Amino acid sequence: MQASDKVARQFMEALPHSRALGMVLEKMEDGVAVVSMPYDERFIGDPVTRVIHGGAVSALMDTASGASVMCHPAGSVSTATLDLRIDYMRPATPGQRITARAECYHVTRTVAFVRVTTTDDDASRPVAAATGAFTLERPKGAKA
Protein backbone atom coordinates (compact mmCIF):
# COMPACT_ATOMS: atom_id res chain seq x y z
CA MET A 1 0.00 0.00 0.00
CA GLN A 2 1.35 3.39 -1.00
CA ALA A 3 1.70 6.10 1.65
CA SER A 4 -1.07 8.14 -0.02
CA ASP A 5 -3.39 5.10 0.06
CA LYS A 6 -2.74 4.65 3.77
CA VAL A 7 -3.50 8.32 4.46
CA ALA A 8 -6.68 8.11 2.36
CA ARG A 9 -7.86 5.00 4.19
CA GLN A 10 -7.23 6.63 7.57
CA PHE A 11 -9.03 9.77 6.37
CA MET A 12 -12.15 7.83 5.43
CA GLU A 13 -12.18 5.59 8.49
CA ALA A 14 -11.90 8.64 10.76
CA LEU A 15 -15.14 10.18 9.48
CA PRO A 16 -18.00 9.47 11.92
CA HIS A 17 -20.67 9.81 9.21
CA SER A 18 -18.81 7.29 7.05
CA ARG A 19 -19.00 4.70 9.82
CA ALA A 20 -22.61 5.61 10.70
CA LEU A 21 -23.70 5.14 7.08
CA GLY A 22 -21.85 1.82 6.80
CA MET A 23 -19.56 3.00 4.01
CA VAL A 24 -16.99 0.50 2.75
CA LEU A 25 -13.84 1.48 0.88
CA GLU A 26 -13.84 -1.01 -2.01
CA LYS A 27 -10.91 0.28 -4.08
CA MET A 28 -8.37 3.03 -3.92
CA GLU A 29 -5.48 3.72 -6.29
CA ASP A 30 -3.87 6.60 -8.16
CA GLY A 31 -6.64 9.13 -7.62
CA VAL A 32 -9.56 6.70 -7.95
CA ALA A 33 -11.70 5.66 -5.00
CA VAL A 34 -14.69 3.33 -4.99
CA VAL A 35 -16.87 3.49 -1.89
CA SER A 36 -20.12 1.59 -1.32
CA MET A 37 -22.96 1.86 1.15
CA PRO A 38 -25.56 -0.80 1.97
CA TYR A 39 -29.27 -0.17 1.78
CA ASP A 40 -30.44 0.63 5.29
CA GLU A 41 -34.00 1.45 6.34
CA ARG A 42 -32.66 4.15 8.68
CA PHE A 43 -31.75 6.20 5.61
CA ILE A 44 -35.09 6.02 3.79
CA GLY A 45 -36.15 9.46 2.58
CA ASP A 46 -39.66 8.54 1.44
CA PRO A 47 -41.55 5.92 3.48
CA VAL A 48 -43.95 5.24 0.60
CA THR A 49 -41.33 4.44 -2.05
CA ARG A 50 -38.64 3.31 0.47
CA VAL A 51 -36.00 5.20 -1.52
CA ILE A 52 -32.74 6.21 0.18
CA HIS A 53 -32.60 9.92 1.05
CA GLY A 54 -30.56 12.11 -1.29
CA GLY A 55 -28.53 13.34 1.67
CA ALA A 56 -27.14 9.83 2.21
CA VAL A 57 -26.31 9.59 -1.49
CA SER A 58 -24.55 12.97 -1.41
CA ALA A 59 -22.58 11.99 1.71
CA LEU A 60 -21.39 8.85 -0.11
CA MET A 61 -20.36 10.88 -3.16
CA ASP A 62 -18.58 13.52 -1.08
CA THR A 63 -16.68 10.89 0.92
CA ALA A 64 -15.62 8.95 -2.18
CA SER A 65 -14.48 12.22 -3.78
CA GLY A 66 -12.39 13.17 -0.76
CA ALA A 67 -10.81 9.70 -0.73
CA SER A 68 -9.90 10.06 -4.42
CA VAL A 69 -8.09 13.31 -3.65
CA MET A 70 -6.29 11.73 -0.71
CA CYS A 71 -5.00 8.80 -2.81
CA HIS A 72 -3.98 10.93 -5.80
CA PRO A 73 -0.24 10.69 -6.58
CA ALA A 74 0.06 14.44 -5.79
CA GLY A 75 0.14 13.34 -2.16
CA SER A 76 -2.46 15.36 -0.28
CA VAL A 77 -2.29 15.21 3.52
CA SER A 78 -5.78 16.62 3.96
CA THR A 79 -8.72 17.83 1.92
CA ALA A 80 -12.03 19.62 2.32
CA THR A 81 -14.93 20.11 -0.06
CA LEU A 82 -14.99 23.49 -1.77
CA ASP A 83 -17.81 22.71 -4.17
CA LEU A 84 -19.84 19.62 -5.08
CA ARG A 85 -22.49 19.88 -7.77
CA ILE A 86 -24.72 16.79 -7.87
CA ASP A 87 -27.19 15.77 -10.57
CA TYR A 88 -29.69 13.22 -9.27
CA MET A 89 -30.77 11.14 -12.26
CA ARG A 90 -33.08 8.59 -10.66
CA PRO A 91 -33.86 7.11 -7.26
CA ALA A 92 -31.64 4.27 -6.10
CA THR A 93 -33.52 0.97 -6.16
CA PRO A 94 -34.75 0.12 -2.64
CA GLY A 95 -32.86 -2.79 -1.12
CA GLN A 96 -29.76 -2.40 -3.29
CA ARG A 97 -26.23 -1.36 -2.28
CA ILE A 98 -25.11 1.91 -3.86
CA THR A 99 -21.58 2.49 -5.04
CA ALA A 100 -19.73 5.72 -5.82
CA ARG A 101 -16.69 5.75 -8.08
CA ALA A 102 -14.73 8.99 -7.80
CA GLU A 103 -11.78 10.08 -9.90
CA CYS A 104 -9.49 12.97 -9.05
CA TYR A 105 -8.66 13.92 -12.63
CA HIS A 106 -6.73 17.19 -12.20
CA VAL A 107 -4.81 18.97 -9.47
CA THR A 108 -3.36 22.44 -9.19
CA ARG A 109 -1.11 23.70 -6.42
CA THR A 110 -4.03 23.97 -3.96
CA VAL A 111 -7.20 22.60 -5.63
CA ALA A 112 -8.18 19.11 -6.80
CA PHE A 113 -10.96 18.43 -9.30
CA VAL A 114 -13.11 15.31 -9.07
CA ARG A 115 -15.81 13.49 -11.06
CA VAL A 116 -17.99 10.93 -9.28
CA THR A 117 -20.79 8.61 -10.39
CA THR A 118 -23.11 6.62 -8.15
CA THR A 119 -24.91 3.46 -9.22
CA ASP A 120 -26.92 0.64 -7.73
CA ASP A 121 -27.09 -2.89 -9.21
CA ASP A 122 -27.91 -1.40 -12.63
CA ALA A 123 -24.54 0.17 -13.40
CA SER A 124 -25.73 1.21 -16.87
CA ARG A 125 -28.16 3.75 -15.34
CA PRO A 126 -26.46 6.14 -12.88
CA VAL A 127 -28.32 7.19 -9.75
CA ALA A 128 -26.35 10.43 -9.58
CA ALA A 129 -23.29 12.14 -11.03
CA ALA A 130 -21.27 15.01 -9.63
CA THR A 131 -18.27 17.22 -10.18
CA GLY A 132 -16.42 18.89 -7.40
CA ALA A 133 -13.49 20.95 -6.26
CA PHE A 134 -11.55 20.10 -3.12
CA THR A 135 -8.72 21.70 -1.20
CA LEU A 136 -5.35 20.04 -1.70
CA GLU A 137 -2.97 20.37 1.19
CA ARG A 138 0.40 18.86 0.41
CA PRO A 139 3.02 17.82 2.94
CA LYS A 140 5.33 20.62 4.06
CA GLY A 141 8.15 21.00 1.58
CA ALA A 142 6.39 19.06 -1.22
CA LYS A 143 6.72 20.48 -4.72
CA ALA A 144 3.60 21.30 -6.74
Domain CATH code at residue 74: 3.10.129.10
Q: Give me the number of domains the chain comprises.
A: 1
- The overall average pLDDT reported for the chain is 90
**111 within 8 A of 68, measured Cβ to Cβ:** no
What is the model's pLDDT at position 142? 62
Mean per-residue pLDDT, 109-132 = 97
Mean per-residue pLDDT, 120-134 = 97
Res 8 pLDDT > 70: no
Q: What is the pLDDT confidence band of residue 52, given thresholds at 50, 70 and 90? A: very high
Phi, psi of 41 (to 5 degrees): -60, -20
Please check whether residue 144 lies inside any domain of the structure: no
Q: Distances from the Cα of 47 to the Cαs of 44, 50, 131, 143, in angstroms?
A: 6, 5, 29, 51
Neighbour tally for 112: CB within 10 Å: 25
Please check whether residue 142 lies inside any domain of the structure: no
Please check whether residue 55 lies inside any domain of the structure: yes
Mean per-residue pLDDT, 129-137 = 95
Dihedral sign (CA 98, 28, 12, 79): negative
Res 25 pLDDT > 70: yes
Please check whether residue 9 lies inside any domain of the structure: yes
Neighbour tally for 53: CB within 10 Å: 14
Domain of 7 in residue numbering reads as 3-135
